[in-house]
Amino acid sequence: MDEIKAHNIELVQEKDQFVPVSVSARHIHLQQEHADILFGKNYTFTKHRDISQPGQYSCVEQVTIIGPKSKMERIRVVAPLRKQTQIEVSKTDAIKLGVNPPVRHSGDLKGSATITVVGPRGQLDLTEGCIIADRHIHMSPADADKFGVNDHQKVKVEVDGEKGGLMYGVTIRVSDRYALDMHIDTDDANAFGIKGQEYLKLIK
């Protein structure tokens, strides 16, 4: 809590340089065809809670993912449905599963890792779809103007605290559908001592 307060003090002083951060645990986005296989035809998903981006939410429903070495249960579905099924894991998860997903921008799935997904009604043996999500910051066009950055630009982000440092290769994503928020996975969060909801300094 003290660390978050310290970040908030800095935010008041230099508010145009700081972005909020959220930590994304492993999860799955589903396309309609695959949702039908895993949960049944035209299944209606139940909202668990809203997440940082407008209109998106985690669901009560969960699946199991299986790799060559092991499986992971209770992988939460994130809605609404997408054009292509995407499973996001951390590098630590990938090692445990025995898969080798690339670090990719969301939606860039060609040639990504194979994985098996099991739901209450069926199973998918995906030839691609598993990735490690790149570090990224969602911004509206107004946010991008304020920070002086462009869509797909790579920036650095500074983290304070006992395990502070610089995160390189953070991708800016700009859309009028986005709310300002930085997304990192659990590996990055653990490495930098981030719990989520802190404010981090953007450095171009």
Spell 87-112 as b/e; 16+ CB within 10 A means b.
bbbbeebbeebebebeebebeebeeb
Q: What is the pLDDT of residues 11-20, one digit of tens each?
A: 444 556 999 9
Per the prediction, the chain carries an average pLDDT of: 93
Handedness of CA 190, 11, 150, 80 (dihedral sign): positive
111 half-sphere exposure, CB direction, 13 A CA radius: 4
Looking up tokens 């035809």 gives 41
Predicted confidence (pLDDT) per residue in 110-157, tens digit? 999 999 999 999 999 999 999 999 999 999 999 999 999 999 999 999
Burial 168-196 (b: 16+ CB within 10 A, else e): eebbbbbeeebebbbbbbbbbbeebebee
Q: Which domains does the chain carry?
A: 2-23+135-203 (2.40.40.20), 25-133 (no CATH)
Which residues, including other chains, have CB under 8 Å from residue 49's CB and lie 6 or more apart?
Answer: 57, 58
The amino acid at residue 167 is M
The token pair that represents 141 in the structure block: 């066009």
Cα gap 69→64, rounded to integer Å: 14
Q: 111, 147, 137: which is closest to 126 by C-alpha? A: 111
pLDDT category at 204 given cuts 50, 70, 90 is confident
- List the beta bridge partners of residue 184: 23
Q: Read off the pLDDT of residues 160-172 as tens digits, 9 standing for 90 and up.
A: 999 999 999 999 9
